[in-house]
Amino acid sequence: MTLQIDNATYLRRCKRLCHHQKDRKRPHLIAKYGMRCFWCGYSLTPETLTIDHYIPLSKGGSNKIKNLRLACNGCNNKRGDAMPEETPQIIAQKSCIRFPSHWAIPKYHLGQRVSLGQIVGLEYHPPGTLRAYELGEGWSYWVCRDEMSDSVESCKEEHIKPLSPAEIKEEIQAEIDFHASKVTALTEQLEEVRQHD
């Protein structure tokens, strides 16, 4: 069962819980920044939030409230004592998915436009697993043929071909044209609404 509570009640409850912990800084930070990780925006709970020093203590930062932020455990750990300006990059680098070195390197990457459409997901099936038995060993890709629909299909690596630079150009141009026509239609609609205002 999921318990539905509104945001205000949730924040009140968080603040109360924090008060019980005799920590008066947390409610201030929650009120100021919301229950989100300052770095990645991830929703926090009273159990998962950590207090992060914007300028690390080791680099001259203080314990004053203006130097404190709320962060998820992951971001807080990953940044270590990095300065704020280098933090997003460090967190991004450490958030990369690493796979075992004995896996083959995938030929295609996420977001790449290929012969069958655009790659929106990757999956590796190690030898000896049920997925490999059912779908074949190695990399398979989730490909979206038509951006207007949500449907994706799974394709084995050998069934995918890269596009030539000219083909990529053509695809991107087609997408630009499509969006441009949409913008024109929306602008016309907006103009119509304005006239009736």
| Crossing angle between the packed helical segments 7-20 and 25-33, to the nearest 10 degrees | 160
Cα dihedral sign for 114, 115, 121, 122? negative
Q: Which of residues 40 and 163 has its CB atom nearest to Zn ion in the complex?
A: 40
Residue 58 CB, nearest approach to Zn ion (Å): 20
What torsion do the CA atoms of 157, 158, 162, 163 make, to the nearest 10 degrees?
Answer: -120
Decide if residue 40 touches Zn ion (CB under 5 A): yes
Place of tokens 């609609």: 189
Residue 64 CB, nearest approach to Zn ion (Å): 22
Q: Which of residues 52 and 160 has its CB atom nearest to Zn ion in the complex?
A: 52
Decide if residue 39 touches Zn ion (CB under 5 A): yes
Asked if 152 and 121 touch (Cβ cutoff 8 Å), the reply is yes
Decide if residue 144 touches Zn ion (CB under 5 A): no
Figure out which of the listed residues 18, 30, 37, 68 binds Zn ion, where binding follows CB under 5 A.
37
Reported in sequence order, the residue ranges of the chain that DSSP labels E, i.e. its strands, are 49-53, 68-72, 113-114, 117-125, 138-144, 153-156
Binding part of the chain for Zn ion, among 20-28, 68-76, 101-109, 168-176 by CB under 5 A, reads: 68-76
Residue 87 CB, nearest approach to Zn ion (Å): 10
Decide if residue 29 touches Zn ion (CB under 5 A): no
Decide if residue 38 touches Zn ion (CB under 5 A): no
Residue 151 CB, nearest approach to Zn ion (Å): 32
Of 163, 172, 140, the closest CA to residue 153 belongs to 140
Stretch 74-93: interaction string toward Zn ion, x if CB under 5 A: -x------------------
Q: Which of residues 69 and 125 has its CB atom nearest to Zn ion in the complex?
A: 69
Amino acid at site 149: S
Give the count of residues interacting with Zn ion (CB under 5 A). 6
Of 41, 62, 49, 42, the closest CA to residue 23 belongs to 49
Residues that bind Zn ion (CB under 5 A): 37, 39-40, 42, 72, 75
